[in-house]
Amino acid sequence: MNATETRESSAIVARARAGDAEAWGDLYREYAPAIFRFCRRALPTREDAEDATMEIFMKIRDKLDQYGATRPFSSWLYKVAANHCWDMLRRRKIRQDKETDDLETLPLEHPDPNQLDQLIEKRTSEEVRKALDKLGSRARMA
């Protein structure tokens, strides 16, 4: 980012701080595509990256007063984005660990070998019934 772009960003940020809705739109249009790409590389799915991008911009709207103009806005924004992505991954890991812990508390049972035979027989019967339903009445009689 060159000096002119930095000044323009600073002016837009100042307007956004003052509550200018158009400035927020300008910030979003300017930075959202790059933040989305950043999130897409950091997170496992496109949907996660889309959600993160929106959440990051909502977060900076609430915390814009914490931005110090001594460094480029984009640096601060990327730092917010990185922290947000890390938080998302950490929450997902904690949730997955909890789900795994819940599974580990379930007793492991060895299924009755007859259950498998019964399941196969039931599914086969259902498939035959469905196939017969597709036939005409004359073909079914044969």
Instruction: Encode the chain (142 residues) as per-residue pLDDT tens digits.
Output: 555 556 778 888 889 988 889 999 999 999 999 999 999 999 999 999 999 999 999 999 999 888 887 888 999 999 999 999 999 998 887 666 655 555 555 555 555 666 666 667 777 777 777 777 777 666 656 5
Rounded alpha-carbon distances, angstroms, from residue 97 to 71, 92, 104: 38, 8, 10
- For the chain, give the number of residues: 142
pLDDT at residue 43, rounded to an integer: 92
CA distance 97 to 99: 5
3: which 2 tokens?
A: 């000096």
Q: Residue 89: CA atoms inside 13 Å, Cβ hemisphere, count?
A: 14
Conformation bin of residue 19: beta by default, left when phi > 0, alpha when psi is -120 to 50: left
CA distance 135 to 122: 20
CA distance 58 to 84: 11
pLDDT at residue 122, rounded to an integer: 75
**Confidence (pTM):** 0.62
107: which 2 tokens?
A: 């007793």
CA distance 104 to 120: 28
Q: Which CATH class is domain 3-104?
A: mainly alpha
